[in-house]
Structure formats: C-alpha cells, structure tokens
Amino acid sequence: MKPTVNQYPIKPPKWILAMYALGQMGWALASYGVATVLIYYYMSPTDGTTAPFPTYIYQGLVLGVATVIGLVSFGGRILDAFTDPLIAAWSDRSNAKFGRRRTFMGIAFIPFALFSFLVFMPLTQEASTLNAIWLVLVISLFYFFLTLYVTPYNALISELGHTPNERLTISTLISVTYALGYGVGSSVMALYPLFMEHFDMEAAVAFRSVMGVFAILAAILMALPVIFVNEKKYCVQAPSEESLMSSIKLVMSNRNFRMFALSDFMYWLAFTFIQMGVAYYVTVLLQMEVGMASVFLMGMLLCSFLLYIPINIAARKWGKKRLMLGAFIGFLGLFSLVFFLGKMPFTSMQQLLLIGALSVGPIAIFGILPNAIIADIIDVDGQRTGSYKAGMFFAVRTFISKLGISTANLIFPSILAFGYSVNNDLGVRLTGVVAVVFCLIGMVCFFLYKEETVEDVTKD
C-alpha cells in the first residue's frame, strides 16, 4: 500500500523557521569542540618549550603511521558516518505521533550536549592508556547522539520548504545560525585565557569550564525545534516503505546526487584540514596569541553575513552551480597561501587579514548553497518516484561528507607530526598543500553536476 503524502501542509511562519534555525546553532555549538579543537587540546602546539595543556595521551606515531588522537577521531567519525543511514531509515519509516523527525531529536539533544563536554574530561592528569580508552568511549557516544539529532534535523530542510525558493531561504537561515554557533564555539580560544586570569584557573580547567557553559547553551537551543516545529502541520511528508539497503541503492542511483556527494567528500577533506589548522597557523606560523584564532574566526563569519543576501540574489539569477565553482576557485587560492604564512613581506596581522578577506566569499557560498542543492535533488526524486526519502538522502550525503572529515582527522595529525612547533613548522605548512589537492579534486567533481536537470524538473 502506497503511503499517504501530506501534499498541502501549511507554510511555516517565520517564527517557526527561526525556532528551527536556532536548533542548527545549538548542534553547531555542541559539535564545534570535537570537530575543531579536540586535536589542539590533546596535541597542543608548543612555543619550543611548553604547551598550554598537560599531555593526556601518547603523542607519537602508532606503528609509524598515525597518532592516537588521529585514530580516535577517525574511528569516532567512521562510527558516526555508518550510523547515519541506519538512523535515516528509522526516521524515514517512522510513524511516531510526536513527529518522525522530532522524536529522534528529542531523545538525542541532552546526551549530545553532555558528551560534547565529557570528551574534554580525561580520567587522569597524565598520559595513560586509561585516558585513551575513555576518549574512545565518549567520542563514540558523542557521535552516536550527534547523528541521532542531526540526521532527522537535516531531513526537515526539504520538508519544511515546499518550493526551491523556500528551501533556499531555509538553507540561508540555518547557514546563519550555523555560523553563529561556530562563532560562539570559536570564542573558546579567547575565553579560556580570561577564565584563567579572572577565576585563577589552570588552562585545562578553564578550557573545560568554557566548554561546559557551551554544552548547556547548546542543549537549550537544540530543544527549540523539538518543542515548536509541528511536522504534521508544516511538513511535506510520506513515510518511506523501502528497506535500508534498498533506500541507499535508490539514493545512490541518482547521478546528480553522486556527483554532488563526491565533490562534498573532497571539500570536507580540504576544509577540515584548514579548520583544524587555524590555531596552529595563528600560533606557530604567525606567532600570535592563541586568542587571535577566535578573533579571526568570529570576524570572518560576521563579515560573511554581509554576503548572504547578495548570494541569494545571485543564486536565483545565475544558478547555484556557477557560484559553487567560483567558491572552489576561491578556496584554492586561499589554501595555497597557508604554506607561505609567516614568510610573506607583511606583518602577521596583515597576513591574517588577507586570509580572512579571501575566505569570506567562499565560506558564505558553501554555508548557504549545498543544503539548498541537496533539498532540490530530494524534491525532484520525490516527484519522480512518489517516495520522499529526505532522511536517507541527507544521511548518505552526510555519510560521505563525514568520511571526508574522518579521513582528515586521521591524516591531519600524521602530517602535523612532521613539525608543529615554532622551531619546526614543516607539518603545519604541509597541511595547506594537502588541502589544495583535495579542493582541486572536489571542484572537478562538482563540475560534472548537472544543475539544469534539477532546476528544469523542479519547475515542471
């Protein structure tokens, strides 16, 4: 029996979209620490003599290949990636009265926030196997609950937005709130030294205190869409009848989706390298205070907001593909400069401002358009097949992008091992070179994406 489609839901009012978007700020804030500063915390850069945090786990290479923190991060990401399709299938097939997406989000948001804090709470204050085992456990639980929240949350993009323009608007809103969450998270580098000074704390205690405050704020924000977004009232929905493997095969049979996903994989490989490297670029290559990393990230994100309206207008006029290819080219230039940081004939501040200015446009484009593109693909596929597999499309996309992030988490510390101190910075510089290679491959893959197929069918 074919499932009933809720074809004529009420258009969600702006305040409902705001509540939905604030959930994105919450999960962006909760995931910031593990995604961006976990390696910095457990593999702290030195000024040649000392590091800001104690050594909690073994710092050398395991079997001459990878670091402990790299392997733990990689393993957590892989677990996260493989649970995406499973949770998406549960969500797509759910008939829960509370809402097939909200039910999972409601279960997940508190433990998700809790484990975002516990990953920075080692059991002993010196390097030990016990700390490594504890980290494996809490990282695994963190990623499971992240997936349990984020996969159903992303599926709501295509279900709350009933037209391509509505989906572009939602994608823009959540890109703003994601940037806000990311910006608040990045302030940890500026806040923990203040906590040290004003509350007479050691660096590690101050850092964990800030992350604890962030976890509480993230939980409150993630609760908002669970409370206010009524799926049965506002969402286009039809529970999918396909099995897990059948649904994955149907999703991967979509050529446009495959090209997009491969491009996304390479983009996340490249961007994660740079994202994890910012603290090292500031402190090791430019030899500035670590707090400048927070100032840089927050300034960059705030400036990118100025481009959100122009990007929306340009996407409607020229298409999303042209803007995405332009963003790839921009990132290629930006990543190329990383190798030369600290060696250019400018002051450290001028070099940091140059990097920030070049990054604003590409970051704004990648913040807005990918979710809108994938939502368009989902809508077209639903029109063609009569089965709306939004959860699975986003899950497979997320699975592939997380493989990229996982691979970056594995490779980055290994490259960093070539040198991540002021006296030996080769590893830090090489991260920019590797990011350039990944970004170039991603641009070639996205060039093969056929935007006109999506747009033409959507208009029909």
Residue 133: domain span: 14-228+240-245+252-459
Lowest-confidence region among 250-254, 353-357, 381-385, 403-407: 381-385
CATH number for the domain harbouring residue 257: 1.20.1250.20
Would residue 294 be called left, alpha or beta, if left means φ above 0 and alpha means ψ between -120 and 50 degrees?
alpha
**CA atoms of 160 and 168, how far apart (whole Å):** 11
In 122-270 the beta strands, taken as DSSP E runs, fall at none
Residue of 7 and 199 predicted with greater confidence: 199
Q: What is the pLDDT of residue 3?
A: 44
Residue 262: partners with Cβ closer than 8 Å, 6 or more residues away = 400, 442, 445
**CA atoms of 300 and 442, how far apart (whole Å):** 23
pLDDT bin (cut points 50, 70, 90) of residue 141 is very high
Outline where 339-425 has alpha helix (H).
Answer: 348-385, 390-416
Q: What is the pLDDT of residue 111?
A: 97
285-334 pLDDT, tens digit each: 888 887 777 677 777 777 777 888 888 888 888 888 899 999 999 999 98
Q: Collapsing DSSP states into helix, strand and coil, what is residue 67?
A: strand
- Give a yes or no: residue 4 inside a domain: no
Answer whether residue 415 shows pLDDT above 60.
Answer: yes
CA angle 432, 31, 12 (to 5 degrees): 115
CA angle 104, 36, 432 (to 5 degrees): 130
361-412 pLDDT, tens digit each: 888 898 888 878 887 887 777 777 666 666 677 777 877 887 887 788 778 8
Residue 393: partners with Cβ closer than 8 Å, 6 or more residues away = 158, 251, 257, 374, 377, 378, 381
- Give a yes or no: residue 256 inside a domain: yes
**CA atoms of 114 and 30, how far apart (whole Å):** 9
Among 8-12, 385-389, 402-406, 442-446, top mean pLDDT goes to: 442-446
- Please state the rounded mean pLDDT for residues 131-136: 89
Closest CA to 161 of 373, 430, 359: 373
Lowest-confidence region among 51-55, 59-63, 170-174, 341-345: 59-63
- Give a yes or no: residue 377 inside a domain: yes
Answer whether residue 239 shows pLDDT above 60.
Answer: no
Distances (CA, A) of 329 to 302, 400, 446: 22, 22, 12
- Give a yes or no: residue 9 inside a domain: no
Closest CA to 221 of 455, 38, 436, 25: 25
- Give a yes or no: residue 8 inside a domain: no
pTM, rounded to two decimals:
0.69
Would residue 113 be called left, alpha or beta, if left means φ above 0 and alpha means ψ between -120 and 50 degrees?
alpha
Residue of 222 and 247 predicted with greater confidence: 222
CA angle 40, 41, 44 (to 5 degrees): 60
Do 280 and 415 form a contact (C-beta atoms < 8 A)? no
Domains contained in the chain, number: 1
Exposure letters 45-77 (e unless 16+ CB within 10 A, then b): beeeeeebbeebbebeeeeeebbbbbbbbbbbb
Q: What is the pLDDT of residue 277?
A: 83
Q: What is the pLDDT of residue 4?
A: 46
Phi, psi for residue 198 in degrees, rounded to 5: -85, -25
Among 82-91, 174-183, 246-255, top mean pLDDT goes to: 174-183
Residue 152: partners with Cβ closer than 8 Å, 6 or more residues away = 87, 88, 91, 100, 101, 102, 103, 104, 105, 391
